Amino acid sequence: MSSKKELAVAALRNGTVIDRIPSSVLFEAVRILGIERLDKHVTIGNNLDSKELGTKGIIKVADTFFPEDVLNRIALIAPTAKINIIRDFEVVEKYHVELPSTIMGIVKCDNPKCITNNEPMRTRFDLIDPKHRVIRCYYCGHSVTASHAHIK
Amino acid sequence: MNPDSLVSISDISKEEILRLLRQARYFESHPNQRILEGKVVATLFFEPSTRTRLSFETAVNRLGGRVIGFSDASTTSSSKGETLKDTIKMVSNYADLIVMRHHLEGAARYATEVTDVPIINAGDGAHQHPSQTMLDLYSIYKTQGTLDNLTITLVGDLKYGRTVHSLLEAMYYFNPTFNFVACKELQMPAEYRQFCTDKGIRYNEFTDFSPEVINSSDIIYMTRVQRERFTDIMEYEKVKNLYNLNAAMLDDSKENLRVLHPLPRVNEIDQDVDDSPKAYYFQQAKNGLFARQAIICRALGIDIPEEK
Ligand SMILES: [Zn+2]
């Protein structure tokens, strides 16, 4: 990566960088992570060049370290996303997001006759086929692939 | 959440299924007892189903328990917009057990999360209906003397028929061979065929309800092919009589063959089958009473003798 591209988004002393988010879902990822509500420095870049994705988005959040299961939520829409944990300008940890075995909230069930679409309650999906990324509604049994899941 | 709730047949183990069957056998020889004396059972039928409700209420009454509840949600506060949660919480103040039927899928599972009173799912939309599955299993067990190594032919609407889906799931413990007989539009859904493949259950698919299939069966499980399931009405007209059974078709069938149907039937089983010793659907419905007595006692944690 050239230093010119590096400058596209500001460097981070401490915090979390979420890289390799497909451009089309960047703002959805922002929403899923609740980044709008943070009062820390947030830098968002989009439509950056990416060999792998064509274009990508990146989110840098200063002085914030999300629990891994929170970051894993974006695996639903951005399975390519990569997490970098920065401390004192150094990457101290990096990992790929992974679909959690249980997803509470976030996903809306596509079945109009599902109880979750008719009661004020939280949804729950279980990962039933990690290879094909299939998740299933805990209540009605309706299943869907993660990339087709309807995000609330 | 009460661990003795029964929402789906997959909630209970093979051993529990077998125990419930032996307890149902016990109730068949001792249907009237006072073991539920002092217990109040609520039957909450948010969606009407006279057949299922009467079976549950008879089961309670014959064991000396009391029944409260409603048979139609239009007469309750849920028709005024009360949430399911609030209704369940209210009834939990009065009842030792809640038997509920609801048109929404997953309603019973959710109900278990908002109360400590045990819940029995008496049908949640097109989803689960475990007491129906238990009475089907009991009927098979009784007529065949075993659940093991049977050839079971499922006929008619295999796409939407929840009873055949649950039966499939429950039978997987018992090394069955399935024949799926249905028209293209109503075939067994891919997820259930996958289930069979994953669990090593043998199955064959047919569009013809042929003598070969009939004559190889230990159980024929008939279901109703409903017009409203078809997007193409011409297709319905073409197939509507292909999956009907009449007495002559049973001429060369196995001696131990029994014909089941969850009822109500329309014309998929000819009246002339009713007199055949192989017709079992009316007794099947009666078995529901004993299966439900066993399920109710399990939910209430009451120990019941078993009978082989
Ligand atoms: Zn659902």
What CATH number is associated with residue B210?
3.40.50.1370
Can you tell me the distance from the alpha carbon of B114 to that of B2, in angstroms, rounded to the nearest whole number?
10
What does the pLDDT read at residue B74?
Answer: 76
pLDDT value, residue B235:
87
Domain ranges of chain A: 2-96, 102-151
Mutate to test the interface with B, among A108, A111, A113 (most CBs of B within 10 A): A113
User: B151 has which bridge partners?
Assistant: B177
Contact B103 A113 (CB under 8 A): yes
Same domain, B117 and B228: no
Domain A2-96 has CATH 3.90.580.10: no
Q: How far is B85 from chain A (nearest CA, A)?
A: 8
Query: How high is the pLDDT of residue A47?
Result: 96
Is the predicted pLDDT of residue B255 greater than 80, yes or no? Answer: yes
Domain boundary among B128, B144, B172: B128
Q: Is A141 on the interface with B (CB under 8 A)?
A: yes
pLDDT mean over A116-120: 97
Final residue of a domain: which of B93, B128, B163? B128
Quote the ligand 1 centre to B112 CA distance (angstroms).
16
Tell me, in angstroms, the distance from the centre of ligand 1 to residue A142's CA.
5
Q: Quote the minimal CA–CA distance from A1 to chain B in Å.
A: 45
**Distance in angstroms (rounded) separating the CA atoms of residues A87 and A92:** 6
Q: In angstroms, what CA-CA distances link B178 with A52, B147, B171, B201?
A: 47, 13, 10, 8
Q: Write the CB contacts of B209 (distance below 8 Å, at least 6 apart in sequence).
A: B155, B181, B242, B243, B245, B249
d(CA B125, CA B132): 14
Give domain status of residue B181, yes or no: yes
Query: What's the rounded mean pLDDT across residues B264-290?
Result: 95
Q: Is B51 a catalytic residue?
A: yes
Per-residue tokens: B153? 């032919």
Please give the full DSSP string across B50-101, using - where no structure is assigned: HHHHHHHHHHHHHTT-EEEEES-GGGSGGGGT--HHHHHHHHHTT-SEEEEE
Asked if B106's CB is within 8 angstroms of A138's CB, the reply is yes
Please answer yes or no on whether A140 and B127 come within 8 Å at the CB atom.
yes
Q: Do A116 and B191 touch (CB under 8 A)?
A: no
Let me know whether B52 and B103 are in one domain. Answer: yes
Task: Convert A32-101 into a string of H (helix), E (strand) and C (coil).
Answer: HCCHHHCCCCEEEEEEEEECCCEEEEEEEEECCCCCHHHHHHHHHCCCCCEEEEEECCEEEEEEECCCCC
Share of chain A above pLDDT 70, in %: 93
Query: Cβ neighbours of residue B124 under 8 Å, at least 6 residues apart?
Result: A115, B101, B102, B103, B104, B105, B106, B107, B108, B109
Is cis: bond before B3, omega within 30 of 0? Answer: no
ipTM of model = 0.90
What percentage of chain B reaches a pLDDT higher than 90? 86
Report the residue of chain A nearest B86, measured CA to CA: A119
Topology annotation, domain A102-151: SH3 type barrels. (2.30.30)
- Whether the predicted pLDDT of A18 surpasses 70: yes
3-state SS, residue A29? helix
Q: Taking 90 as the threshold, does the pLDDT of residue B73 lie above it?
A: no
The confidence score (pLDDT) of residue A131 equals 92
Boundary-marking domain end, from B107, B128, B149? B128
CA of B261 to the centre of ligand 1 (A): 28
Mark whether B79 and B203 lie in a shared domain: no
The answer to whether the CB atoms of B85 and A121 lie below 8 A apart is: yes
Within-domain flag for B182: yes
- The verdict on residue B163 lying in a domain is yes
Confidence at residue A1, expressed as pLDDT on a 0 to 100 scale: 46
Residue B7 lies in a domain: no
Contacts of B126 in chain A (CB under 8 A): 113
Whether B174 and B194 map to the same domain: the answer is yes
List chain A residues with CB under 8 Å of B79.
none
B52 given a catalytic annotation: yes
Closest by CA to B28, choosing from B120, B132, B130, B141, is: B141
Residue B138 shares a structural domain with residue B274: yes
Is the confidence at residue A2, as pLDDT, over 80?
Answer: no
**Active-site residue among B25, B43, B52, B153?**
B52
- Write down the pTM of the prediction: 0.89
Chain B residues whose CB is inside 8 A of the A134 CB are: none
Domain assignment present for B169 = yes
pLDDT above 80: residue B127: yes
Q: Could you tell me if residue B11 is inside a domain?
A: no
Q: Say if A113 is an interface residue toward chain B (CB within 8 Å).
A: yes
Percent of chain B surpassing pLDDT 70: 98
A·B CB contacts under 8 A: 44
Mark whether B258 is an active-site residue. no
Kindly report the number of other CB atoms within 10 A of residue B275's CB atom: 8
Q: Please, what is the end-to-end C-alpha distance for chain A in angstroms? A: 35
Q: Chain B residue closest to A134 (CA)?
A: B191
Q: Is A140 in contact with B191 (Cβ distance < 8 A)? A: no
Domain housing B148: 131-285
H or E segment at B168? helix B162-171
Q: Does residue B152 sit in helix, strand or coil?
A: strand
Q: Which residues contact A71 (CB under 8 A, 6 or more apart)?
A: A16, A18, A33, A83, A97
Is the pLDDT reported for residue B146 higher than 70?
yes
Are residues B124 and B60 part of one domain?
Answer: yes
Q: Measured between alpha carbons, how far is A22 from A135 in angstroms, rounded to an integer?
A: 21
- Mean pLDDT for B78-87 is 86
- Mean predicted lDDT score pLDDT of chain B: 95
Categorize the per-residue pLDDT at B184 as very low, low, confident or very high, splitting at 50, 70 and 90. very high
Annotated catalytic residue B80? yes
| List of chain B residues whose C-beta atoms are within 8 Å of the C-beta of residue A115 | 84, 102, 104-107, 109-110, 124
Residue B80's pLDDT is what?
72
Task: Summarize pLDDT for A44-86 with one digit per residue, the tens.
Answer: 999 999 998 999 999 999 999 999 989 999 999 999 999 999 9
How many Cβ atoms sit within 10 Å of the Cβ of residue B66?
15
Q: Which pLDDT band, with edges at 50, 70 and 90, does B231 fall under?
A: confident
Is residue B123 within 8 Å of residue B8, measured between CB atoms? no
Provide the domain count of chain B. 2
B280 and B167 in a single domain? The answer is yes
pLDDT per residue as tens digits for the range B24-48 = 999 999 999 999 999 999 999 999 9
Mean pLDDT of chain A: 91
A27 touches chain B (CB under 8 A): no
Whether residues B159 and B261 share a domain: the answer is yes
State pLDDT tens for residues B209-230: 999 999 999 999 999 998 888 8
Select the residue from B102, B110, B121, B165 to test the A interface by mutation, using most A Cβ atoms within 10 A. B110
At B121 the three-state DSSP class reads: strand
Residue A7 pLDDT greater than 50, yes or no? no
Q: Which residue of A lies nearest to B103 if distances are taken between CA atoms?
A: A113
Nearest chain A CA: its distance from B293 CA (Å)? 26
Q: Is A108 exposed, middle or buried (0-12, 13-18, 19+ CB in 10 A)?
A: middle
Please confirm, yes or no, whether B102 is among the known catalytic residues. no
Q: Is residue A8 scored above 50 in pLDDT?
A: no
> Does residue B264 belong to any structural domain of this protein?
yes
Q: Whose CA is closest to A93, among A65, A53, A70, A73? A: A65
Which pairing describes strands B119-124 and B97-102: parallel, antiparallel, or unpaired? parallel
* Sheet architecture: strand order including A54-62: A42-50, A54-62, A15-22, A82-87, A90-96
CA dist B280 and B206 (Å) reads 23
The answer to whether residue B210 is domain-embedded is yes
